[in-house]
Structure 1
Amino acid sequence: MKFDLHTHHFRCGHADGSIRDYIEAGIAAGLSVIGISDHTPYFASPSEQAFPRIAMAKSEIANYVEEVLSLQKEYAGKIDVLLGIESDYFPQHAELYRTTLAAYPFDYIIGSVHNVEGDSIFNKSRWKKLGPKQMHAVKAEYYRLITESARSGMFQILGHIDAMKGNYPNFSQIPAAAEIDECLRVIGECGVAIEINTSGGTKLCGGWYPSDDILERALHFGVEVSFGSDAHKPSRVADQQGAVAARLKEIGFTHWVYYKQKEKQTVAL
């Protein structure tokens, strides 16, 4: 059984295609389950749409939910369409996000850290003037935030947990084994899944998130895994899903999971 829980569409401002386009692509790819999980609005901003090229407007979330639920009914029996969303994790705004998202019947929420110390994780220029100690401090803060997001109880899945390497491949070489292990230990204890996200292939790092060494450590700490292409165009739906499944089996995983009505569904690899 094949599933893909991480897809976007035009409302976020940096993806192509409608929700229907992604569902049709999922059917063509042989998926049994597709999750739609566009970016939340920036709820803490006073602006209606603070970043039009990053996330949908506040007023659009109700329309988004209504459209997914309508398509869910329309495609019943062909493919199981799940209502998800990808939420940034901002510690200072966590309760606002928690209460706002609780008003909608999401099957799952992906929690992703996209900003560290006020700067995008994909900004490769941030590293130019940093020495080894400063680089370690940034990486440690990134994993501290991910750890805190796991503890928050807001999310069923954590998104792309080493995506900071996306536009700076040397990120993976910055020593932070203790911080990563502590993060994975907490994720395992909290019962939150991590996704294998194949959108790394669209960045400078290539490959997918997270790296094999992190997945090996995740298995050690009892962390469960899910799958998301993080597709921003319909042609990427289910991208490398079979290759990921094969690699997970080689590492030692026996199953992966998705969420429906926030209940874990286990699928054998």
Structure 2
Amino acid sequence: MKFDLHTHHERCGHADGTIEDYIKAGIDAGLQVIGISDHSPYFGSEEDQPFPKIAMAKSALQGYIDEVLRLKEKYKGRIEVLLGMESDFFPDYAEIYRDVYAKQPFDYLIGSVHHVRGISIFNKKRFKGLNEEEQLNEKREYYSLIKQSALSRMFDILAHIDAMKAYYPAFSDIPAHREIDDTLQTIAECDIAIEINTSGKMKDVGGWYPSDEILERACHFGVKVTFGSDAHVPSRVGDEFELVKKRLKEIGFKDWVYYRNRKRVVVPL
């Protein structure tokens, strides 16, 4: 069983290709299941699309859902198409997001932390000039937000849980083992999966999110795992699926999961 739950498309403003392009790429890659999970609109603003290069407009949401459902029917028997969404987690607006999602027929929701203290985790300058204690505080705040996103129980999957290392590889060396373990334990207790996201190879850090070290700790705490390429171009759909599968087996995982109708489907590794 081969699947990919994390794909984007042109509506978010920073990915190439239509939803159908990603479905066709999934078929070409030998997937049995593909999840479409573009960036959710920003519901914490009166504006329709305050961040046009980051997330889709609120007015585009229904069209997105309708298109995925139409393509789900069109490709039935060739590949299973799942309706998902990658949603930023903003504690101040969490209930607004929850209310919107409750009205829609999502197969799954991916929760992501992309901003800490109002600054993008991908901002290459965010660690510039910070001393060791200040860097540690940034990492602690990042994992506090990830933990809060788990406790919200809004999501089925948490995305790229060490992606702050993307343009600052030394992030992984900032000693915050207690905070990471506490976060992983909370994720396990909330019965949420984390993804192995292969888009890190496209950033300065290279490799995957999360690190092998975090995956080993996740395995220890019994955290469920899933796969997401985080493809922003169709050619990356399913990227390095078999390599991830092999590594998870080496670490000690026995299975991984995907979601249909907000219910977990377990797949042996």
What corresponds to 1:53 in structure 2?
53
1:103 corresponds to 2:103 = yes
What corresponds to 1:86 in structure 2?
86
- Name the SS for the 2:84 alignment partner: strand
What corresponds to 1:161 in structure 2?
161
Q: Counterparts of 1:121 and 1:51 in 2: how far apart (Å)?
A: 16
Q: How many residues align?
A: 269
What corresponds to 1:215 in structure 2?
215
1:13 corresponds to 2:13 = yes
What corresponds to 1:32 in structure 2?
32
- The one-character-per-residue Cα deviations of 1:136-189 (angstroms, maximum 9, x if unpaired) are 000000000000100101000000000000111110011100000000000001
What corresponds to 1:243 in structure 2?
243
Q: CA deviation at 1:45?
A: 1.0
Q: Give 1:108's aligned amino acid.
A: Y
Q: CA deviation at 1:74?
A: 0.3
- Name the SS for the 2:195 alignment partner: strand
- Name the SS for the 2:259 alignment partner: strand
What corresponds to 2:229 in structure 1?
229
Using the aligned pairs only, state the percent identity: 64
Q: CA deviation at 1:129?
A: 1.1
Tell me the TM-score normalised to structure 2 length.
Answer: 1.00
Q: Give 1:145's aligned amino acid.
A: L
- The one-character-per-residue Cα deviations of 1:108-154 (angstroms, maximum 9, x if unpaired) are 00000000000000012011110000000000000000001001010
What corresponds to 2:252 in structure 1?
252
- The one-character-per-residue Cα deviations of 1:30-49 (angstroms, maximum 9, x if unpaired) are 00000000000001111110
Q: CA deviation at 1:102?
A: 1.1
Q: Counterparts of 1:2 and 1:98 in 2: how far apart (Å)?
A: 30
Structure 1 segments (4+ residues) deviating >6 Å: none
Q: CA deviation at 1:101?
A: 1.2
CA-based RMSD: 0.4
1:114 corresponds to 2:114 = yes
Q: Counterparts of 1:103 and 1:12 in 2: how far apart (Å)?
A: 21
1:185 corresponds to 2:182 = no
Q: Counterparts of 1:68 and 1:235 in 2: how far apart (Å)?
A: 19
Q: CA deviation at 1:98?
A: 0.3
The answer for unaligned runs of 5 or more in structure 1 is none
- Name the SS for the 2:58 alignment partner: coil
The answer for unaligned runs of 5 or more in structure 2 is none
- The one-character-per-residue Cα deviations of 1:182-237 (angstroms, maximum 9, x if unpaired) are 00000001100000000000000000000000000000101000000000000000
